[in-house]
Each structure stands twice: as C-alpha cells, then as structure tokens.
Structure 1
Amino acid sequence: MNIKFSHIALRCNNINTVSIFFTEVIGLEKGFRPYFIFPGYWLYSPKNKQEAIIHILSKKDKLSLRTNNYNNLLDHIALVRDDYPIFIKHVNKLEISFYEKFIPDLNTKQIFLKGPENITVEVNFII
C-alpha cells in the first residue's frame, strides 16, 4: 500500500479573499476544479499543475460536503491510497462509518471518515 498527502480543504467566509491571499501573497495558482454544485477554488503549486494542494470552500454553503465542520476553518485533510478493496474491508471490520462518492472528471473514488476530535479525513483512490 502507498499513502501520500493530497490536499487540505479550508471552509472560509469569503472564498475570493482567501484565494487572492494564497495566489497573490503565497504564489499558488488557481487551476482545474471538477464540476461541483457549490463554488470554490482549487489552488496549485506553479511547478505542479496536476495536484491541487488547497481546496477553498464557502462556509455559507452547507451543501458543499458531508463533513459538517461548518464552524472550523479546516474542513478536511485528504490522502491518496492505492488499495481500495483492502481499505474498505479494513474500515468495515473496525465498524467505522464512511461516506463514499465518485468524481467522474477525476476517475476517483472518495471515502470520507470521521476521526478523533471530529476531524474529517478524505481518502482518494484513483480507479
């Protein structure tokens, strides 16, 4: 199994102000974001346009994710694994509930779980 960091997601009061800070001050760049029913931005390193490292979401949009972290700036952290069937068997054995979603534009299955302290962890599997 291989596990790597994917991104953090920030739930913000003003997604435009936050995106301007990370692009004009920090130097990240806005880039591709698959279609979602809620607004936001994906920000990339100028040297890696393949993997967004910060996702910006609106606090005002309660439909955006299943995380229910509406009062926190950190909405979730995301990791990528390469062992979907083994991971699903593992979390089921531990009786950890999760939410699963497929993103067709990325050919990716997403698993959302709640960890200690109510932290949401997104685990992505490229299918």
Structure 2
Amino acid sequence: MTIQHLDHFTLRTAKVAETVAFFRDAIGLEEGWRPAFPFPGSWLYSAGRPLLHIANLESRGAELDAYLGTRAVAAGSGALDHVAFRCSDLQSHRQRLLDLGLRFSERVVPDLLEHQVFVEDPNGVKVELIFACPAHSPGI
C-alpha cells in the first residue's frame, strides 16, 4: 500500500455558514460540488481538489450518526471528525489491518467510485483511507 497524499479533513460544526466563510475568505478555499450524502454539509476546494468537508451538526440525527458515527463534539480540535489519506492497493492494506488485529469499517461512495476504510488511531482519531474502486468489482 502506498499513501499518496493527505486527501481531506472533516469538521463537524453547527456554525456551517461561519466556517465556510472563514475558509473561503480568510484561507482562500472555494465552495464546490458535494456528493448526495444523507445529511447536509459543504465541501471546500483548492485547485480543483476538495480539501475540507463540513458536516452540519444542526441537522444531527440518525443520518449523520449512521454515516460518520456517533461522537461527542467539542470546540477546537474536538470538532475534527477525521483525517483522510488517498491510497493505493486496497487488498494489501486491508490485510495489514487484519494482521495487526485492528478493527475497521468499510463503505463505498458510488458518486465518487471510492472505497473508504475507517480505522481509529490509539488516541481515538478516526483515519480514513481512500482507494479507487476496482473497475472490475463495482461496489467493492
């Protein structure tokens, strides 16, 4: 498995408009397209790449918790939901996690043709590993 680059970070916040405005106006990111997730939010881009995913906590409910998981959210770094790495070689990385005895979950985002693997670090920080879906096996 090869880590190619940091893909994005996700913030959970009830201050969506203010967060979007800050990262747009102060940092220089641009608002852009977002897949049809079952909860509201925003994606902000740089050079055509979505770097910041925002999950709207005002709509917190079954859809958000089912998709991202239930967790307490606090101000500051407590708002950080997860860090994501773009990767290659899904099968070998899945085996690495199994060999280490680490629990992980997986899902596919059909709109993006991506396979996501989620695992927690020893500090409870969620790490997402993103792989392109194999062309011969849609949904895997």
Cα shift at 1:69? 4.8
Match of 2:55 in 1: 57
Residue by residue over 1:27-50, the C-alpha shift from the partner in whole angstroms, topping out at 9 and shown as x without a partner, is 1101111110111111001xx21x
Per-residue deviation, 1:67: 6.0
Q: Distance in 2 between matches of 1:85 and 1:67?
A: 28
Please give the alpha-carbon distance, in whole angstroms, between the structure 2 residues aligned to 1:44 and 1:100.
25
**Inter-partner Cα distance in structure 2 for 1:70 and 1:59:** 9
8 Å CA contact 1:67, 1:76 repeated in 2: no
Shift of 1:20: 1.1
Q: Secondary structure at the match of 1:35?
A: coil
Structure 1 runs not aligned, ≥5 long: none
Match of 1:70 in 2: 73
Check whether the contact 1:59–1:70 (CA below 8 A) recurs between aligned residues.
no
Q: Distance in 1 between matches of 2:72 and 2:45?
A: 24
Which has the larger displacement, 24-33 or 117-126? 24-33
Runs of 4+ aligned residues of structure 1 deviating over 6 Å after TM superposition are none
The equivalent of 1:27 in structure 2 is 28
Find the partner of 1:93 among 93, 99, 115: 99
SS in 2 for 1:122: strand
Q: Which residue in 1 is equivalent to 2:125?
A: 119
Asked whether the 8 Å contact 1:109–1:124 carries over to 2, the reply is yes
Identical residues among aligned pairs (%): 35
Tell me the equivalent position of 1:110: 116
Question: Is the 8 Å Cα contact of residues 67 and 75 (structure 1) preserved in structure 2?
Answer: no
Q: Normalised by the size of structure 2, how large is the TM-score?
A: 0.82
CA 1:91–1:97: 2 relative to 1, 3 Å: same
Deviation for aligned residue 1:2: 2.5
| Unaligned stretches of 5+ residues in structure 2 | 134-140
How much does 1:54 deviate?
A: 0.8
Cα separation, 2, equivalents of 1:66 and 1:87: 22
Note the C-alpha offset of 1:59.
Answer: 3.0
